[in-house]
Chains A and B, each alone.
Chain A
Amino acid sequence: MSAALALEVRDVARNFGGLQALRNVSFTVRQGEVMGLIGPNGAGKSTLFEIISGNVKPSAGSIFYFGTDCTNVPPHLRRRQGMCRTFQKVRLFESMTVAENIRVAASQSVPPDRSVDEEVAAVLAQFRLEAQATRRPSELTLADRKRVEIGRALAGRCRLLMLDESMSGLTHEEAEHLIVEILALNRTRGITVIVVEHVLSVLAAMVSRLVVLHNATVIADGTPTEIAHDPQVVEAYLGTKQRALR
């Protein structure tokens, strides 16, 4: 029996005035899956992320989260139901300490079997941020800032983690560390993961499936190997030399 659907994007469209940012976008994500979302600049990835997380309303279509239509559910309630995300440009609460950043999210949906303090401590430990707990984000390196943001996304209830270019700006080693941590979360806690990433070589090592957006719609959906050999993708996105996959 196949796993239940964590997310279903059904016929989603979005217009900004005369600009069609998304049209007839449909795909599903199974529970426990690690899925990649790729596409060239302007393909509509960010708009789709904003629609899934509830910051932007679709002009048409629906979003189903674990079988329930959440198209009109505000973002904070989606988060409390375990739909978690990071941002393309890291967005932390700059006046707060690292521990407080995580506490904000932990206190919204702490699991019944532990206190907020325990949850904050667990997240700090998981991302090896204990030494930075009382520091402000401005004192951290980019890699640590990204880990705090992912930690904040995971604090409390998290069933679906959406990462928006979380590897960009990191060194190869830092990115590898982060990938290991995310895959461990997927394995140990069964968290479904959607990753938007430009570095396809990074993404191919991480995901079991790729959805490709181009010109505001889905042009391919398959395993990284299938995607790499899809002539439409090669033509539209990767280029004939497939340089991005290297």
Chain B
Amino acid sequence: MHTGAPTSVLSQQQMWFNWRSAAILILPVAIVAVLPLLPFVNNYIIAATVRALIFISLGQAWNVVAGIGGQLSLGHGVFLGIGCYTTGILFNKYGIPPWVGGWVGVLLAMAVALVMGSMTLRMRGVFFALATVAVSLALVQLSRHFVDLTGGADGLALNFIGNSVWAMQSRTPAVFLYAALAFVVAYYWITRWILASRLGLEMQAVRDDEVAAAAAGVAVFRTKLVGFTLSAAMTALAAVLYMQFYMAIDPEAAFGLGTAIQLQLPALIGGLGTAAGPIIGGAIMIFLSESTNWGGAKVGIEGLDILIYGLMLLLVVLRAPTGVVGWLQAMRQSGSGR
């Protein structure tokens, strides 16, 4: 049998790890890692960085189903909420630490994703997106209704017991900085691994053309369901960090449409379906948000960050529909083409 094509061409799908990508990642990771050691960096800056990293990791999770798989879920707040509420309820009511409660939340989120996905993933495009919004809105009402369990509209506050590894609690935001950084790095490599795997290839095929994917032998529905469930699990796992850092969750923060949009922005701005996209997008998003919020407060304009979010989305849609990564790739290609 003729196998004349170069191995690098044929095996590129398997190359999820390479030293070049690792080297590129080292600089931003090192900068974030030394932040707490710098004299001019206060707790506010560290907390803002933690918030950014948490939303980047949530964006990385959403990127799996929407960016790689092409299923534009607007209901991923469901899995954030399930992760947060499960961890919080198990800790407050039964004393179960988040080390265990978090995994219960992940399993619950996966179970919900399987049921939700089975009902919605046969729909296409906007119908799927609307169905996921409907589930989210239903959960807003449900979490308001079961006041004893969830705290109702007021939300659920974690019982604070002080610095404790067992309870995953700390007064120092730097602890969360390292935890969140670990999440972002881990999710970056998980995304690269998915992209390089057979599952990733199938998810991209389904994203590009469902009919052609089926004609190539891809089990379209099963592929969508696996991607959706995997993304849900990643969201619920990152939700543990969210809950331990914010120490509280309420129905709107978990299942609201605002949260759903926030989860999407890192990947949309940075580049859908790419491993680096949500990191770049999240960094840009939080920098603009924090600086405009600060600037807005100085000039007495509250909520300027929300306005900036909207403008950024508009800018992305109009000028860089493939995100920053896609824009950079296009620039590089046009540069090399000259």
Whole-angstrom CA separation of A80 from B220 in the bound complex: 13
Instruction: List, in ascending order, chain A residues with CB within 8 A of B201's CB.
Output: 96, 100, 103-104, 107
Report whether B217 and A94 are in contact in the complex, using a CB–CB cutoff of 8 Å: no
Per-residue CB contact flags for chain B residues 208-225 toward chain A (1 = under 8 Å, else 0) read 110111111111100000
Within 8 Å by CB of A114, from B1, B10, B11, lies: B1
Closest Cβ of chain B to A170, distance in Å, is 20
Within 8 Å by CB of B220, from A76, A97, A130, A153, lies: A76
- For chain A, give the interface size range: 35 or more
Report whether B214 and A95 are in contact in the complex, using a CB–CB cutoff of 8 Å: no
Report whether A93 and B212 are in contact in the complex, using a CB–CB cutoff of 8 Å: yes
Instruction: List, in ascending order, chain B residues with CB within 8 A of A75's CB.
Output: 214-215
Whole-angstrom CA separation of A79 from B204 in the bound complex: 18
- For chain B, give the interface size range: 20 to 34
Closest Cβ of chain B to A13, distance in Å, is 23
> Is B205 engaged at the interface, CB distance under 8 Å to the other chain?
yes
Within 8 Å by CB of B215, from A85, A96, A97, lies: A85
Report whether B9 and A99 are in contact in the complex, using a CB–CB cutoff of 8 Å: yes
- Interface hits, A78-113 → B, CB 8 Å: 79-80, 84-85, 87, 91-97, 99-100, 103-105, 107-109
> Is B18 engaged at the interface, CB distance under 8 Å to the other chain?
no
Closest to A124 in B: B5
- Interface hits, B1-27 → A, CB 8 Å: 1-5, 7, 9-13
Whole-angstrom CA separation of A96 from B3 in the bound complex: 21
Whole-angstrom CA separation of A184 from B5 in the bound complex: 21
Known contacts A76-B214, A103-B201; is-contact A93 B208 (Cβ 8 Å): yes
Closest Cβ of chain A to B187, distance in Å, is 21
Report whether A130 and B4 are in contact in the complex, using a CB–CB cutoff of 8 Å: yes
12 contacts between A and B (CB under 8 A): A76-B213, A79-B214, A93-B209, A93-B212, A95-B204, A95-B207, A95-B208, A96-B204, A104-B216, A107-B201, A121-B5, A121-B10
Name B's A-contacting residues (CB within 8 A): 1-5, 7, 9-13, 198, 201-202, 204-205, 207-209, 211-220, 273
